[in-house]
Chains A and B, each alone.
Chain A
Amino acid sequence: MSTITIKVNGRPRKIAIEGGETLLEVLRVQLGLTGAKRGCNQGVCGSCTVLIDGRAARACLHLAGLAEHADIVTVEGLASDGELSPMQQAFVDAGAVQCGFCMPGMVIAATALVAENPKPNDEEIREGLAGNLCRCSGYVKVVEAIRQAVHSKGTAP
């Protein structure tokens, strides 16, 4: 058992590591950040997507012990002062949110996509979200939400 410090949503957090814990387990169980979900625990569904150093990553495939010094942002870190980020707000307004289980991962993936490519076209949006499964929406309104977010002038998602 060792203790390491990881940076989550801008704050240093001490976590206890035995060895095999995934970042997803640590976030959910030790830190109480339950936004990232366990949908498959196999890196396929994308429900556990978080930002690691600005890039979308599967928390279920990352060992927490290797995250020392990494800058991690979970869905809980997207809103500021209780205000949803423009991307989050676009998901709400477009009606993209149904059961919501995939949504934390989905909106993180969308945030990462737009950070890298501020004006993605539809094809790029589809590719950017190809690793995030949703069983409710059929993706139509998810793509619409991202389209709206990137075309709403002046606001960085």
Chain B
Amino acid sequence: MTATTSAVGARLPRLEAAGKINGAARYTDDLARPFMLHGAILGSPFPHARILSYDTSKAKEFPGVEAVITAEDFPYLPLGAIVKDETILARDKVRYVGEPVAAVAAVDRQTALEALKLIDIEYDELPAVLDAEQALAADAPLIHENLASYFKIFDCRCGGNVLSEQSIAEGDVEAAFATCDVIVEGEYRTQAQAHAYLEPCGALAEVDDRDKITIWSSHQSINRVQANVSEALGIPMTQIRVITPRVGGGFGGKMEATVQPLAAALARKTKKPVKIVLSREDDFAMMRTRHPTRVWMRTGAMRDGTIVAREAKLLYDGGAYSDDSPGVLAFGLYMARGPYRIPNFRATGQLVYTNKLRSSGFRGFGNPQVTFAGETQIDELAERLAIDPIELRLRNAIRKGDKWVGGQTVTSCGLAECLTRVRERSDWHARRNAAGRSIEGRRKGIGVTALAHICGVLGTSAIIRLAEDGSIVLNTGSVDIGQGADTVLAQLCAESLQVDVSRINVVAPDTDATPYNWGTGASRVTYMAGRAVAGAATALKQKIFEHAAAMLECSTQDLTLAPGGIVAVAGTDRKVSFFDVSLRSHYGVGGPPIGEHAFVYDGEPFDPKRSTMVGFPFSNLGVHMFGAQVVEVEVDEDTGKVTPLAAWLSHDVGRAINPLAVEGQIQGGFVQGLGYALCEELVWDDGRLTNPTMMDYKIPGTLDVPLAIETIIVEEPEPSGPFGAKGVGEPGIIGAAPSVANAVASAVGVRIHQIPLTPERVFDAIARS
């Protein structure tokens, strides 16, 4: 490939694609160590119960078992990204069905599973709280009696079963609603969606001769794993090394600890390597879900379509433990205004504990829920105003230079272009006019969503160095969970240094080798790690230039990079190669060149004079990404089945560093969103998950997805981004549900305020109308 001068923008397949398609790629469960044991975890049978006693004697005596652990084997060491409310094995109480209560290490997996059955735990069952509304009732059982005393990294305003209460307000909402010609109001509900990464959670831990633990695991952040294991086991980070094999998807579910602390605890106890890989059923039951929500919202506009006010009340079901939840609620509030110029806005949110699986970050981080509400409501408003839905969105669309909720300036914005592009590519007006006609009991419809998200947050760093042979070593600590970070960061590095991508050694994230990166989440790797790479490459270039200037007897000002790792005196044929510089620096003078750059997201902070933000855990968030998605569906009136026929997905990514990877993120996100819109739902019965299998929890397959999915990349450069780039990891999922719901409404004339739009729900809604 001709990447030397155009690595940025190249449609480069994943660097590791060949190894993933020929079976050579090693994921956690593909790894083994000498004398390795296998771990298994016993889950709670009750949604809420007091633990009275343990009897692990039979399990310990079972042939082949080497260790059995419960909370009694540990001091109280609570975990939690924001509120420390959880322990790696349930302590005193269990709070959801499936919560880990004991773990076994044995010579093989089958023996470990057999031994679990021999563990006898006596429980005293307690009344359980099974939904968010019930959690708020005055007489609701308390899930965390000691909530007030838990350590919290910020004041999340908790009490009772409420884990956090937050709000954002700007302008004068009451006064603005009083002036509105049209007000629409409604309540919208969204369900629990499982991450359903194809690779179940797993970890392999081994203790060395200095008692240092090495962990290979399926994760999104080596640093979060290290921090969690350190907290859970009460050992310093110096004694924990986390290494990244290939990771089979994460989507938010592998950001915080999964089974790493238990694997580490068993390895410490047995002094042997221990691998735990969850069964699919255990992964569903023990790990994480997207927050089920109830969102009440009203939006008011003038007759000309100018939206002047919006109010929202969010209720997020956090499940039994807090995980990322206070951040997810905050982000839901932050996105609830939608990508519009609405001067008067107020959103209040409650996050509650229930006796169910913990909710967590999941692609979109609280945004798909409020965008389902908000974008359904914009369509309802368009109907009342008799204005075309895309036209109404365009009239109110936020633009570059406008302020987002909280006062941050929108520094780049391709929203209007995204909307006009999907309108044109979908032949919107023709399809809209044809919507609703019944042909043999089937009606087509088309719907749109305008969406926004952020990329940014927290800290990251990069170290780039010149190797002895003149090649480049790129260290960022950014975990590629399948989204293509390794390739994209290599492309950014290649472009910055004018070398071929093949000359870059992308170092696998390893806490002993790579610098700090908070993690792969918040659509942040291209933008944040990309900025770190660009900064480190600039620093390295300067060092290389200093050597080259001495070698060429000129000033660094006279030098320029030429493709292929060449430093030339501009306008002459005098040049040296990176290899020449490497020899001089490694063996002669100066020392091996290293460039580094580290920063914490440095965007504009929230403006307290503009916005009243209460209980908000962030002081800033990131830069804004935009998109518009149009979906055409067909609704079968006899069965209620909704079939997506085509989609047009336009996303403003700033600059597509790798358009092939960008398309993959948009398409993949959107299809996860189709699952969210149409079929995916974790269902509990009396506190027990009824569908913890791939058979019963259906994610979209090839037959559920339209082949006509067109991706339209809009490039409105972000001034702070590397080569103008922003993120793209999450936005694809956000528009699917409201677009489908809006399309269903245009097909059959009924508004359904609850997803998934199952055949039953759609059929009932049509029958009632």
Chain A, Cβ-Cβ closest to B250: A99
Q: Are B198 and A99 in contact (CB under 8 A)?
A: yes
Q: Are B27 and A37 in contact (CB under 8 A)?
A: yes
Q: Which residues of B contact A44 (CB under 8 A)?
A: 693-695
Q: Does A122 contact B (CB under 8 A)?
A: yes
**Main DSSP-derived SS at the B contact region:** loop
Q: Which residues of B contact A132 (CB under 8 A)?
A: 701-702
With contact pairs A130-B701, A137-B664, A138-B705 given, residues A98 and B198 touching in the complex (Cβ less than 8 Å): no
With contact pairs A34-B30, A76-B23 given, residues A98 and B482 touching in the complex (Cβ less than 8 Å): yes
Selected interface stretch from B45-53, B345-353, B667-675: B667-675
Q: Are B279 and A41 in contact (CB under 8 A)?
A: yes
Q: Are B694 and A39 in contact (CB under 8 A)?
A: yes
Interface size on B, residues (CB 8 A): 53
Q: Are A34 and B26 in contact (CB under 8 A)?
A: yes
Selected interface stretch from B13-21, B287-295, B391-399, B531-539: B13-21
Return A93 CB to nearest CB of chain B, in Å: 6
Q: How big is chain A's contact interface, by range?
A: 35 or more
Instruction: Tell me the A81-116 residues at the B interface (CB within 8 Å).
Output: 84, 88, 91-93, 95, 97-104, 107
Q: Are A98 and B483 in contact (CB under 8 A)?
A: yes
How distant is the Cα of A140 from the Cα of B702 in the complex, in angstroms?
9
Q: Are B667 and A140 in contact (CB under 8 A)?
A: yes
Q: Are A45 and B198 in contact (CB under 8 A)?
A: yes
With contact pairs A92-B21, A97-B21, A98-B483 given, residues A133 and B693 touching in the complex (Cβ less than 8 Å): no
With contact pairs A39-B199, A40-B694, A91-B21 given, residues A135 and B251 touching in the complex (Cβ less than 8 Å): yes
Chain B 248-284: CB-based contact to A (< 8 A → 1; otherwise 0): 1101000000000000000000000000010110000
Q: Does A152 contact B (CB under 8 A)?
A: no
Q: Are B23 and A143 in contact (CB under 8 A)?
A: no
Return B690 CB to nearest CB of chain A, in Å: 16
Q: Which residues of B contact A95 (CB under 8 A)?
A: 11, 13-14, 660-661, 663-664
Q: Which residues of B contact A137 (CB under 8 A)?
A: 664, 667-668, 671
With contact pairs A44-B693, A95-B661, A140-B707 given, residues A103 and B249 touching in the complex (Cβ less than 8 Å): no
Using CB atoms and an 8 Å cutoff, list the residues of chain A in contact with chain B.
28, 33-42, 44-45, 47, 74-76, 78-79, 84, 88, 91-93, 95, 97-104, 107, 122, 125-127, 129-143
- Nearest first, the 3 A-B pairs at minimum CB distance are A35-B23, A99-B482, A100-B20
Using CB atoms and an 8 Å cutoff, list the residues of chain B in contact with chain A.
11, 13-14, 16-18, 20-27, 29-30, 196-200, 246-249, 251, 277, 279-280, 481-484, 660-661, 663-664, 667-672, 693-695, 699, 701-703, 705, 707, 709
List 12 interface pairs A-B (beta carbons < 8 Å), by A numbering.
A39-B199, A40-B693, A75-B23, A98-B14, A98-B664, A99-B247, A100-B21, A129-B702, A133-B701, A135-B672, A139-B702, A141-B664
* New A-B contacts (15) at CB < 8 Å, excluding given A34-B29, A40-B695, A99-B246: A75-B23, A78-B22, A84-B18, A97-B13, A99-B197, A100-B482, A103-B20, A125-B702, A129-B701, A133-B694, A133-B701, A136-B483, A138-B669, A139-B702, A140-B705
